[in-house]
Amino acid sequence: MEEARTVVQKWFSENKIATIESTPNSIKGRWGTGFLTAPKYFQVTFVPTEGGVIAQTAGWMTWYWLKDQDFSSSAIGGGIPRREGWRAMERLWSTLQSS
């Protein structure tokens, strides 16, 4: 599980995602300031299995005047930031799969 945590922490660092919460079983990060770009949140939860670790991922963005919205590859409402978050999440999945 520690190897998967290290991969995610390195990915956060490379993508300028600030870690805002870290426990032995999960990491949560924030990307964006909220001033010019909507803040985007990434959370990875690690579930130990017999053959290794499952990394469950979640990603969403928040606007101060709207409720949280999940990342989406085909988003219309919140469009660009939600698609941008989706593309970043795809890069994270690729990184996790190759490790």
- For residue range 39-78, what is the model confidence (pLDDT) as tens digits? 889 999 999 999 899 999 999 888 666 677 777 666 565 5
User: Do you know the residue count of the chain?
Assistant: 99
pLDDT for 82 equals 74
Cut 0.95: pTM above it: no
What span, in angstroms and rounded, lies between the C-alpha atoms of 56 and 58?
Answer: 7
Q: What is the pLDDT of residues 5-33, one digit of tens each?
A: 999 999 999 999 999 999 999 999 998 87
Q: Residues 4, 54: contact at Cβ < 8 Å?
A: no
Does the pLDDT of residue 36 top 80, yes or no? no
pLDDT for 64 equals 65
Q: Domains in the chain, ordered, with CATH?
A: 2-98 (3.30.310.80)
Which 3 state secondary structure label does DSSP give 73? coil
Looking at beta carbons, which pairs linking 12-17 to residues 24 or more positions away fall under 8 Å? 12/42, 15/88, 15/91, 17/42
